[in-house]
Amino acid sequence: MTKLPKSEFSERIKNAPEDTIERNWVNKMSPDFALGYLQLMRADRPIGTWLLLWPCLWSILLASHYYSDASMLPNWQLMLLFTVGAFVMRGAGCVVNDLWDREADAMVERTKGRPLPSGRVSVFGALVFLGMLCLIGLLILLQLNMFTIYVGAASIVLIVIYPLMKRITYWPQLILGFTFNWGALLGWAAVSGEIKLPAVILYVAGIFWTLGYDTIYAHQDKEDDIQVGVKSTALRLADNTHKWLTGFYLICFTLILVAGYFSGLSMLFFIGMAAAGAHLAYQLKKLDIDDRDLCLNLFRSNHHFGAIVFISILLGHI
């Protein structure tokens, strides 16, 4: 595909959602018929895929070391499968979310340009697209052992109910944590055909990580959330957000260290994790819950935290 001329690109992004990233491969290179669907699955915003993928990769690395008497090379083929799976299933989750939220999204300036509320993708088209994404996800899952297939299938319940939680509880970020960190269990199961304590500890660590970064994200939308009548931890915690985030991140950081310890990682892991801790401290220091742009940037920076933890676990194999 060729790069769009500047005039055509400018015309195309007029119809893009306000919260999209303008200069990305989707807006620049996708054919017209696919643009709405790629935006529907958030292919233009890869941060969600990374946040879903990192716990999977952490877990695969931990399991690789746990089951080895000496340093065991990670299964890169397995990591590739999980990378594609995270891209597809994060997309499926976004489609489910937008189907539930299409009426509320139409009332919010930041989201009214999304494919469903703007009418660029029909409900029927979204359902067909969702079926295709789930089929691809199933084909990837079937490449894994039977125990992992069962574990992966169990996550469908969380994917479906998560969008409802913001109408029921001020803690939908907790349900998102259960959902987005399922890969910590799945990655371990894919390596070993079972789930051991380090995987469970890592899963809980990821839940607290998600509680932190998605509360930051939710502070962008708190005025709109009040307007449309949905709930979030940003509204629940309000001016106490910083104290709660400190607790969330401290628990997350500590539990990742414990998971690494029980997996038998070397001292290099703990040295590397000092940088991960510094990154979380940086987020807490910079946070201003009333600065929407800053909240978005800090939220996105959690991709860097995920990468630092990954590198630290990899170093721990030495």
Q: Looking up tokens 């992966």, which residue turns up?
A: 152
Mean pLDDT of the chain: 88
pLDDT band at 3 (very low <50, low <70, confident <90, very high): very low
The burial of 169, by beta-carbon neighbours within 10 Å (0-12 exposed, 13-18 middle, 19 or more buried), is given as middle
Please give the residue that has the higher pLDDT: either 188 or 2: 188
Residue corresponding to tokens 């400190």: 246
Range name among 114-123, 243-252, 301-310 with the lowest pLDDT average: 114-123
Residue 6 reports pLDDT greater than 50? no
Q: What pLDDT does residue 8 have?
A: 47
Nearest one of 290, 278, 292, 220 to 249, comparing CA atoms: 278
Other C-beta atoms closer than 10 Å to the C-beta of 262 total: 17
| Beta carbons within 10 angstroms of residue 46's beta carbon | 18
- In this predicted structure, the answer to whether residue 2 has a pLDDT above a threshold of 50 is no
Of 32-36, 201-205, 304-308, minimum mean pLDDT range: 32-36
Q: 73-107, pLDDT tens digit by residue?
A: 668 889 999 999 999 999 998 998 889 878 777 77
The whole model's pTM is what? 0.88
Please state, in angstroms and as integers, the Cα–Cα distance from residue 241 to each residue in 40, 148, 233, following that order: 30, 36, 8
Backbone angles phi, psi at 232, to 5 degrees: -165, 165
Question: At residue 204, does pLDDT exceed 90?
Answer: yes
Average pLDDT over residues 6-30: 57
Phi then psi for 74, rounded to 5 degrees? Answer: -60, 155
Q: What whole-number distance in Å separates Cα of residue 218 and Cα of residue 134? A: 27
Instruction: Give the 3-state secondary structure of residue 289.
Output: coil
Task: Set out the domains of the chain in order of their start, with CATH numbers.
Answer: 45-59+67-315 (1.10.357.140)
Q: Cβ distance 45 to 21 under 8 Å? A: yes
Q: Is residue 219's pLDDT more than 70?
A: yes
Residue type, 125: G
| Average pLDDT rounded to a whole number, residues 5-24 | 51
Q: What is the pLDDT of residue 229?
A: 82
Per-residue confidence at 71, pLDDT binned at 50, 70, 90? very low
Give yes or no for a contact between 232 and 225, defined as CB atoms under 8 angstroms apart. Answer: yes
Q: What is the pLDDT of residue 73?
A: 60
For residue 286, what pLDDT band results from cuts at 50, 70 and 90? very high
Higher-pLDDT residue of 308 and 105 is 308
**HEC secondary structure over 147-173:** HHHHHHHHHHHHHHHHHHHCCCCCCHH
Least confident window among 97-106, 189-198, 266-275: 97-106
Full 3-state SS string of 161-221: HHHHHCCCCCCHHHHHHHHHCCHHHHHHHHHHCCCCHHHHHHHHHHHHHHHHHHHHHHCCC
The reported pLDDT for the residue numbered 9 is: 43
Neighbours of 110 (CB within 10 A): 14
Q: In angstroms, rounded to a whole number, what is the distance separating the alpha carbons of residues 301 and 294? A: 10
Distances (CA, A) of 88 to 91, 141, 310: 5, 11, 21
d(CA 226, CA 92): 27
Q: What is the pLDDT of residues 111-163, one digit of tens each?
A: 778 888 888 889 999 999 999 999 999 999 999 999 999 999 998 889 888 88
